[in-house]
Copies of this chain bind each other. A is one copy, B any other.
């Protein structure tokens, strides 16, 4: 394959306190590299685009190192082995790896995971059976501890994590309320996923509602308070939810996408912390990698739910690696409909 070209997306500039734009990325074509001893060359079929990547574009210290300027944008991919110098892998194997935003990835053999396309389509390993699905599963069940009959509120309810959270909460017998930002997302969450209620955090003109409105609307949909608040969003939606937390409620901080374009302003945060005291509520940050020991439990359980159609999962697929920056920029603004993927055009 070494005679081919590898198209990849680099970080050209760090957006500071603003949304990323196309010129923050640079698309380049380089020859496909040869694997060294112990390495495997993967031709990618799907790239996962996830909100956490916005954090990696920032130089701010977080739970992972920033991408360097000129470095390949990071990301998880599924693809097929096209050349191997590692005894564990053969040409044709379907695998998952962190190769980043590029058509071909060169990876040490021990950093690759085999995936079973008989169990589920390859793309699912980047979504409902992958990191977002496992995030939903472990964070909801092990941090949120939802009990039958309790109210679970999910922000970004139609997103890669949110749609799974709500469905698992339904399986566990909870009353599930979602928050999303457009009519078609609302319809998907309510009509296809079966949430009990959904709230649009935007007015009909597309502008986000203010705190008082949101807090009142959340109170209306959660009259007994929120027992588990699964937050992917932060900001005013978080405030509105926390102002309605139930006694001994649990808040899972899974993402803060509403402030991802303002990471360098550390004074943006929640305003209702006193509710934690008043309600003896618990708030906890979550990172799926801390739960690696639950991978097998998660895979088996979720595969069963998918088979039984108790969980469905929507993917929003952009075409071609060149579309990755625009798809990513759109996802941060809420333009995606379900889990955002990039499908490589050579398939």
Seen from chain A, the residues whose Cβ lies within 8 Å of a Cβ on chain B are 61-63, 211, 234, 238-239, 243, 253-256, 259, 263, 266-287, 290
From A243, A263, A271, name the one whose CB has the most chain B CB atoms within 10 angstroms: A271
Contacts of A63 in B (CB 8 A): 277-280
**In the complex, are the beta carbons of B277 and A285 less than 8 A apart?**
yes
Contacts of A273 in B (CB 8 A): 234, 238, 253, 256, 269-270, 273, 283
Excluding A268-B271, A269-B273, A273-B283, 17 further A-B contacts by CB distance (< 8 Å) are A211-B267, A238-B273, A253-B276, A254-B277, A255-B277, A256-B273, A256-B274, A256-B277, A266-B272, A269-B270, A269-B271, A269-B272, A270-B273, A277-B285, A278-B285, A281-B284, A281-B285
From A211, A238, A239, A276, name the one whose CB has the most chain B CB atoms within 10 angstroms: A276
A255 to chain B, nearest CB (A): 7
A7 to chain B, nearest CB (A): 33
The count of identical subunits is: 2
Contacts of A259 in B (CB 8 A): 274
| In-complex Cβ contact of A280 among B243, B274, B287 (8 A) | B287
A235 to chain B, nearest CB (A): 10
A270 to B272, CA, bound (A): 8
A282 to B276, CA, bound (A): 11
